[in-house]
Chains A and B, each alone.
Chain A
Amino acid sequence: MNGSLSQRIYLFTLSCCLLFTILLGSVIWSSQTVELAFSRDSYAQQLDNQLNTLKQLVVSDNIYANHYSVGNWLVLQRKLTSLLKSSPTLTPQQKTIQTSIKSQNDSLKHLFGQITKNKLKNASVAIKNHLKARLMTQLEALRSDSLQLSAIAHKDIHNTIKHEALFIISVSAASIVALLFGAFTFTNIVSKSLDEVKRAFKQNHSGHFQKIRLSHRSQEFDSIVKAFNTMNEKLSETTVSLEVMKKVVEERTHVLEHLSNTDPLTKVANRRALFERANMEYSRAVRSNNKLTLLLLDCDLFKNVNDEFGHLFGDELLIHICKICGQEIRDIDFLARYGGEEFIIVLPNCDIAGGVETANRIQQSLAQHCIAIEDKEVFVTLSIGVSTLTERHKSLDQLINDADKAMYQAKDNGRNCIEVLTPSNLH
């Protein structure tokens, strides 16, 4: 059903009115029916009394006596006849008896007429007695009928009261059930619909713009839902959810972070990232008493290359060196551009020998893989300074400084070589 709630309320109110009208009507009707049943009983009682009086008259008076006057009889007979005419509405069963009473009353009148006609002057005592007995029988038959009428009326009263009581109880019970059902249904529709709308608002709050689907349709809630669903549709089109936003921000942050930590030319870590990572590795090595070695690599005669082949080739060369270094170091090692043509490689858990070995591999690889320009092969070399963490080092800067010193020693020693800063090398 998809009616409006107000219609339902009207319908419910109308039904209540109807039920109470039925109830009221049944009470009135019942009282009338009971009243009618009582009037039938009273009618039967009056008939019985009248017939008894007639019977007493026949018993006490000698109807064949010369001085007997039929006046009394006729008065009573007329009363009986008019009483029969004024009967209340009778039941079909009572009507049958009423017809019998009327017919027997006619017989009674006729018989009495015959008996009193000339006082049966020619008749014998036997027939006189017999006819008087017939008169009594007739009266008795009438009385039996009136008693039956009364008995039916009594039964009728009993049945009427019983039926009416049952009817009123049934109508009342039905009314109460209908009212409760109506009230329950109405409350259920309203509360369920409200819950569904409330739930939809909550979901909106958490960014789920879902449509409301009402389990009970009603025009009022349908219009609210329609407006809500239209609003939600627009919101879902125009609003980015918090989670999506988070993801976007994370992605952007990641890109930005990457950009801020990366050297734009060589795409290896820049100086900022170097210090961040190297500091972390330094702290970890100090804390865990682990080894930590740094390589500081400087491209030999890079200025000459630039001058001879141009800056663009110089850039290409730096990218090439990074590629070679990247291939020769472990996953846990960290390559960064330190500045100009200088690079630093952080080697965690690596002692001085390991550092020298890595530096050797890089130099060999670079020697084997030259870079070409206009079909001409260009060979470059690296001077590499190696320093390793010792108790003497109080900061990362000191460690870098040692590697720098070692690199300058390599430069001093004719370039393309590896130098380690040993205590003997210290000033």
Chain B
Amino acid sequence: MIAVSKTPLSTPFYVAKAIGAFDGTCVSVEFDQVVGGQRAFAKVISGEVDFGTSSDSVIAFQSLANKAFVSHAMFVQSDNDVKLITRPSAKINSSIDLKGKRIGVTKKTASEYFLSTLLALEGLTTEDVELIHFKPDELINGFINNEVDAFVPWEPFAFQSAQLLNDQIKIHNTKSLNILSFNLISQTADTLLVDKAKCIIQGLNIAIDYIVSNPAESKQIVINELELSAELIDWVWPDYIFKLALNQSLILSVKYQAIWAIETQMSEFDEIPQVEQFIDSRAMLQVNPSAVNIPQ
């Protein structure tokens, strides 16, 4: 059982299932579709599911809480998944204009982290704005109900907002400011779980090869699975890089996000975690050793 976040970022999972990539491996896979990597993470920790998909930001926040989990592999990254959307009437042109504004975020996710870095670029902190927390799929309602002047959603909610509200919103160009990766996580793994992870990664490996060779078919699979429009997929697709990896950069990214969370008081914890303990490379080393680059 895998808790799969309902986002096009989970494309490798949907494709793997659609093309039967898991059939040839050693596990039978069932999906539990959830909204957001944070919920997927919660289900993994509670033992409801064996595996989940979570962003590196979620991993950073949860590593601070020292939860018993590991990441087995990163399977996608996007440098434009989280976006800043504002009301044109609020006249927000740069980060500095966010000062004093009501901003909707999803707590302890890439959403909150991204906003904090945007603010910091202009010397601001979350103290300088009014943060209002929403679940990922409820951010837009907060905006429609005029509870916030700006919000920081991820896809597909940013696109849906653009479709729904059209010229009532302004989407800021923040491409490259934050790189978000999606990872396969589980509870701290024993040998059996590592074996299962290996099987899932094998399926993902096949799916990613398929996505690279057959992008049109892959897009259609995601459109059908998530009941999304083709426009949305075309909107997000150029930002996505599907590849299996387990890198030093993930460790650094998690580590610096954790440090940042401590320094900006986004987290109640204040001890910098040993990020390496949350990375389990055993499964990846069996499937795609060349994609593993972690100092031993």
* Chain A residues within 8 Å of B, Cβ to Cβ: 92-93, 95-97, 99-100, 103-104, 106-107, 109-111, 114, 120-124, 126-127, 130-131, 133-134, 136-138, 140-141, 143-145, 147-148, 151-152, 154-155
Q: Are B243 and A147 in contact (CB under 8 A)?
A: no
> Is B77 engaged at the interface, CB distance under 8 Å to the other chain?
yes
Whether B263 and A151, one on each chain, are in contact in the complex, defined by CB atoms closer than 8 angstroms, is no
Determine the distance from Cα of A95 to Cα of B211 in the docked complex, in whole angstroms.
12
A103 to B291, CA, bound (A): 18
A64 and B295 alpha carbons, distance in the complex (Å): 29
Please give me the residue from chain A that is nearest to B175 by CB atom: A110
In the assembled complex, B179 has its CB within 8 A of some CB on chain A: yes
Contacts of A103 in B (CB 8 A): 79, 241
Contact A141 B121 (CB under 8 A): no
Residue in contact with A127 in the complex, picked from B117, B252, B290, CB distance below 8 Å? B117
Does B138 make an interface contact (CB < 8 A)? no
> Which residues in B have their C-beta under 8 angstroms from that of A141?
179, 247, 249, 253
Determine the distance from Cα of A120 to Cα of B124 in the docked complex, in whole angstroms. 11
Q: Which residues does chain A contribute within 8 Å of B290, judged by CB atoms?
A: 148, 151-152, 154-155
20 additional A-B residue pairs with CB within 8 Å, beyond A96-B212, A144-B249 = A92-B212, A96-B208, A97-B243, A100-B77, A104-B79, A106-B176, A107-B179, A114-B121, A121-B123, A122-B96, A122-B122, A123-B121, A126-B260, A130-B120, A130-B259, A133-B259, A137-B249, A140-B248, A145-B245, A154-B290
Q: Which residues of B contact A (CB under 8 A)?
A: 77, 79, 96, 117, 120-125, 175-177, 179, 208-209, 212-213, 241-243, 245, 247-249, 252-253, 256, 259-260, 263-264, 289-291, 293
Give the Cβ gap from A64 to chain B, nearest Cβ, in Å.
13
B252 pairs with A148, CB closer than 8 A: no
B31 to chain A, nearest CB (A): 24
In the complex, the answer to whether A138 meets B179 with C-beta atoms within 8 Å is yes
Closest 9 CB pairs of A and B: A122-B123, A127-B120, A141-B249, A151-B290, A110-B176, A144-B247, A107-B176, A137-B252, A133-B256
What's the nearest-Cβ distance from chain A to residue B253, in Å? 5
B245 and A104 contacting across the interface, CB-CB below 8 Å: no
Name B123's contact: one of A95, A104, A124, A152 (CB within 8 Å).
Answer: A124
Cα–Cα, bound, A103→B76 (Å): 13
**Inter-chain contact B79/A148, CB cutoff 8 Å:** no
Residue of B nearest to A106 (CB): B176
- Min CB distance, A120 to chain B, in Å? 7
* Contact present for A148 and B291 (CB under 8 Å): yes
Closest to B254 in A: A137
Q: Give the chain B neighbours of A131 by CB distance below 8 A.
A: 117, 120-121
Chain B nearest Cβ from A153, distance in angstroms: 9
Give min CB distance, B256 to chain A, whole Å. Answer: 4
Of the listed residues B175, B252, B259, the one surrounded by the most CB atoms of chain A closer than 10 A to its CB is B252
Residue from the list B177, B259, B260 in contact with A114, Cβ < 8 A:
B177
- 20 inter-chain pairs at a CB distance below 8 angstroms, sorted by A residue, are A96-B212, A96-B242, A96-B243, A97-B243, A103-B79, A107-B176, A114-B121, A114-B177, A121-B123, A122-B123, A123-B120, A124-B125, A133-B256, A138-B179, A140-B247, A140-B249, A141-B179, A143-B248, A151-B290, A154-B290
Name the B residues within 8 Å of A138 (CB-CB): 179, 249
Residue of A with least CB distance to B238: A103
Q: Kindly state the separation between the CA atoms of A151 and B284 in the bound complex, as whole angstroms.
A: 15
Closest to A105 in B: B176
> How far, in angstroms, from A155 to B290 measured CA to CA in the complex?
9
Residues on the B chain within 8 Å of A127, using CB: 117, 120-121, 123
Contacts of A111 in B (CB 8 A): 176-177
Known: A92-B213, A97-B243. A134 touches B256 (CB 8 A): yes
Chain B residue at smallest Cβ distance from A152: B290
Give chain A nearest CB distance to B114 CB in angstroms: 12
Contact A100 B260 (CB under 8 A): no
Partner of A110, one of B177, B248, B259, B291: B177
Give bound CA distance, A133 to B249, whole Å. Answer: 11
User: Once the chains bind, are B263 and A126 in contact (CB under 8 Å)?
Assistant: yes
Across-interface contacts of A124 in B (CB, < 8 A) = 120, 123, 125
By beta carbon, the residue of chain B nearest A107 is B176
Write out the residue numbers on chain B whose beta carbons fall within 8 Å of the beta carbon of A104: 79, 179
Given A96-B241, A104-B79: A123 touches B122 (CB 8 Å cut-off): yes
* Cα-based distance from A252 to B120 in the complex (angstroms): 138
Question: Which A residues touch B122, using CB under 8 A?
Answer: 122-123
Minimum C-beta distance from B112 to chain A (A): 14
The complex places the Cα of A143 from the Cα of B179 at a distance, in Å, of 15
Which of B125, B177, B179, B242: most chain A CB closer than 10 A?
Answer: B179
B177:A123 contact, CB within 8 angstroms? no
| Contact partners of A107 in chain B: CB under 8 A | 79, 175-177, 179
Residues in chain B near residue A136, CB distance under 8 A: 252
Q: How far is it, in angstroms, between the C-alpha of A123 and the C-alpha of B118 when the chains are bound?
A: 11
Q: Which residues of B contact A106 (CB under 8 A)?
A: 79, 175-176
Report the bound CA distance from A136 to B253 in whole Å.
9
Q: With CB as the reference atom, state the residue of chain A lying closest to B173.
A: A110
> Complex formed: what's the CA distance from A121 to B122 in Å?
8
CB < 8 Å neighbour of A100 from B125, B176, B241: B241
Enumerate chain A residues within 8 angstroms of B124, measured Cβ to Cβ.
122
